[in-house]
Amino acid sequence: MNTAVTNANPYIPFPSEILDVVKHTQKEYTFRMKFEGEVRPGQFFEVSVPKFGEAPISVSGIGKDYVDLTIRRVGRVTNEVFEHYKGQSLLLRGPYGNGFDIDLYKEGETVVVAGGTGVSPVRGVIEALSTMDNAKDKYAIAGFRSPDDMLFRDDLARWKDRLNLILTVDRAPEGYEGNVGLVTKFIADLPLRDPSSAKAVVVGPPPMMKFTIIELQKKGFKDENITVSYERKMCCGLGKCGHCRVNSTYICLDGPVFNYTEGKLLMD
Amino acid sequence: MGYVLTQSGFSELVKSLESQYRIFAPVLKKGAGRHLDTDVVLYDFVKSAEEIELEHKSDYAFKEALLPMSETLFFFTEQQTKEADLDERPVLVFLRSCDLHALKRLDDIYLRNGKEIDPFYKRRRDLLHFVLIGCPHAFENCFCVDMGSNLTKDGYVFSIDSAEEGEDTVYRFEVPDASFNTFFEGAGGTKADVQHTYVTETKTRVRVPEEVPQAVMKDALWDEYTQRCIGCGRCNFVCPTCTCFTMQDVYYTDNGRVGERRRVEASCMVDGFTNVAGGGQYRKTKGERMRFKVLHKISDHKKRFGENMCVGCGRCDDVCPEYISYSHIINKVYDASEKVLQAKNAEGGEENE
Ligand code: SF4
Ligand code: SF4
Ligand code: FES
């Protein structure tokens, strides 16, 4: 009945069918949502749950007629999604933000460093890197808090065979066989031919990003070759509510993805 | 081009305008002010000339005509959403020059920021017409002249100035929009050559830096406000150019699936403004928030839209319960900016950069 209005008014969400749900951890599920339209990794949708509100969720995967939204159960809205998603559809608005430009990472060496839920927005980037002809020049360092917190296990297994994946956890129970340590630990030893022309993508919690960038710079990366994605409170996604503004930049419009030469000037 | 009316003529005028427009004007509320027994000038819809406060500056801005403190956007049931209705009669808003300048800043955000025009703002905006209240003198904390908002050349249908002449109050109207002439004729107006009053000097002065160097953001000047500011947000709520909001869902019954989504005014000075899911927070201290607010008003908005956001109405200084002077902060930022630039020039001279 209200289709015309729905199209005209960007605040009114549209229903999207849940095609599949993948449970990574107790608190993190990926919802495969029906969506046809242009979308890039790193963009985000507002997931809208009447009565509870809206939550910005970044796109963690893209297919011909779907987008993956990896949702972490951390608040009123996401709680409700987990409790009642069996309703088969969710209300969405978006996609918003600029997202990653995959073409930038086609040539030469590229390193993606992601921590925790920061892996979601770059999942599409790593996926793309893993299918490139020169995938042997592509590196991904993914860090999680513990083995139980790992996201995208199937993808990780697949990526391991295709590009240079370093998987690490901050801490692990005794007897754990994989890497233990922060993502920053692995940057110095990356066997890169030419760090000064290599590209990097960094996404994660603010302290992780800060120290990762310091390590990259030490290794010889140039600021202009580093891409970052910032998390802020995205309330409207439309450049109106003001919650995401930093200086003269609106993260929801101009970001969340920035070249670090710009990103480093943003000061909260 | 204009008219002069007597007191009774003015009453007639408002009466006839009111038959075609809703009139949104400053109104004096006795004893409702910041302190016990003080008055406050708010905006409200009025029916008569007597209700309109023309002498004092309003403590709150007209922006509620566009951005109500709480606005229902749409209603939802299980599978449907329906936009909230709006009273579609045109509105005449009485405001001063600074506030008419503020309108452009509101438009910047709601009509020009990003690809999307805000439909809820736009539908209200399209109904508004403006009546410019003249300013024969500046109020205590005004600094409109330094912000370039003292003079208004267009955007109003008519202006109004009142003056005591002997026993009587005389009302003068400059009427650039000739379609309003009939209202003045009908109220027995005398044709006259009228120009609205405006101020050319203010007691409060500010020096706005041309550019604020990054180093000033880290200056110690902000620390003082971590101590003094209590983060109440009143400075945002009274500001004609503050535009931020938060979405809020309301349900009528607990198990019924009927409710509404609203947007409510938000303040960057108040706790929680930046909180993200999972506990992340930016600008934890009041000093950082003060920097964020002040630099938005006198620098950041200008970088994006070409004009400073602040129009110098002085309401934030009027309202602050901690007597924090925002105009004073602008001057401190100016001094700090100058210092950085001078240091840079001295250095640059040596290094020949
Ligand atoms: S910042 Fe203060 S002086 Fe400037 S427009 Fe807002 S309330 Fe008025
Ligand atoms: S500056 Fe004053 S009015 Fe504004 S938040 Fe701080 S204490 Fe409240
Ligand atoms: S999320 Fe509302 S302005 Fe960016």
Task: Write the ipTM.
Answer: 0.91
Give the mean model confidence (pLDDT) for residues B142-154. Answer: 95
Q: Which ligand 1 atom minimizes the distance to the CA of B141?
A: 3
B20 assigned to some structural domain:
yes
Residues A110 and A92 in one domain: no
In this structure, are B145 and B35 located in the same domain?
Answer: yes
Q: Is the peptide bond before A195 cis (omega within 30 degrees of 0)?
A: no
Q: B291 and B181 in one domain? A: no
Specify whether A216 is located in the same domain as A126. Answer: yes
Q: Could you tell me which chain A residue has the CA closest to the CA of B114? A: A239
User: What letter represents residue A215's amino acid?
Assistant: E
Looking at the fold, whether A87 and A196 belong to one and the same domain comes out as: no
- Ligand 3 atom with least separation from CA of A233: 1
- Judge if B161 and B111 occupy the same domain: yes
Separation of first and last alpha carbons in chain B: 57
Q: Contact at 8 Å (CB) between A230 and A202?
A: no
Q: How far apart are CA B110 and CA B128, in angstroms?
A: 15
Helix or strand holding residue A262 (H, E): helix A260-263
Assign residue A230 the CATH number of its domain. 3.40.50.80
pLDDT band at B337 (very low <50, low <70, confident <90, very high): very high
Please check whether residues B169 and B304 belong to one and the same domain: no
Question: Among all residues of chain A, which has the CA nearest to that of B121?
Answer: A240
Residue B140 sits in the same domain as residue B226? no
pLDDT tens digits, one per residue of B268-320: 988 888 887 777 788 888 999 999 999 999 999 999 999 999 999 999 999 99
Distance from CA of A54 to the nearest CA of B (A): 8
In angstroms, the CA B189 to CA B13 distance is: 9
Instruction: Identify whether residues B173 and B233 lie together within a single domain.
Output: no
Question: A89: domain range?
Answer: 14-96
Domain count, chain A: 2
Which ligand does the CA of B235 lie closest to? Answer: 2
Domain membership of residue B103 as a residue range: 2-67+89-192
* Six token digits for residue B99: 């506030």
Q: Is A265 within 8 Å of chain B by CB?
A: yes
Categorize the per-residue pLDDT at B223 as very low, low, confident or very high, splitting at 50, 70 and 90. very high
CATH number of the domain that A46 lies in?
2.40.30.10
Q: How many domains does chain B have?
A: 2
All residues of chain A having their beta carbon less than 8 Å from the beta carbon of residue B107 are none
Instruction: Say if residue B142 is in the same domain as residue B235.
Output: no
Q: Are residues B96 and B145 in the same domain?
A: yes
* pLDDT tens figures, A108-135: 999 999 998 899 999 999 999 999 999 9
Give the separation between CA A139 and CA A160, rounded to whole angstroms: 10
One domain for residues B57 and B144: yes
| Any domain includes A239 | yes
Average pLDDT estimate for B146-156: 95
Together in a domain, A152 and A233:
yes
Question: Which position has the token pair 């808090």?
Answer: A145
Q: Residue B75: inside a domain, yes or no?
A: no
With CA atoms as reference, report the closest residue to B133 among B68, B185, B64, B61. B61
Q: In angstroms, what CA-CA distances link A238 with A154, A250, B195, B326?
A: 34, 9, 41, 29
Has residue B63 been placed in a domain?
yes
Phi-psi label, residue B305: left if phi above 0, alpha if psi -120 to 50, beta otherwise = alpha
Domain boundary among A43, A63, A96: A96
pLDDT of residue A100: 96
Instruction: Identify whether B132 is part of a domain.
Output: yes
The residue among A65, A96, A127 that closes a domain is A96
Weakest-pLDDT range from A1-5, A55-59, A240-244: A1-5
Which ranges constitute the DSSP H helices of B139-285? 144-147, 181-186, 214-217, 223-228, 234-238
Same domain, A122 and A208: yes
- Among the atoms of ligand 3, which is closest to the Cα of residue A56? 1
Q: Are residues B43 and B179 in the same domain?
A: yes
Q: Does one domain contain both B18 and B166?
A: yes
pLDDT of residue A1: 35
Residues of B in contact with A268 (CB under 8 A): 274, 282-283, 288, 292
Q: Are strands A66-72 and A53-62 parallel, antiparallel or unpaired?
A: antiparallel
B176 and B27 assigned to the same domain: yes
Question: Lowest-pLDDT range, A1-15, A112-126, B216-230?
Answer: A1-15
Domain final residue, candidates A96, A125, A141: A96
High-pLDDT (> 70) share of chain B, %: 94
Verify that A110 and A233 share a domain, yes or no: yes
How would you class B111 by CB atoms within 10 Å of its CB: exposed for 0-12, middle for 13-18, buried for 19 or more? middle
Ligand 3 atom 3, closest CA: A239
pLDDT digits (tens, 9 = 90+) for A186-244: 999 999 999 999 999 999 998 999 999 999 999 999 999 999 999 888 889 999 999 99
> Which of A11, A79, A232 is most worth mutating to test chain B (most B CB atoms within 10 A of its CB)?
A11
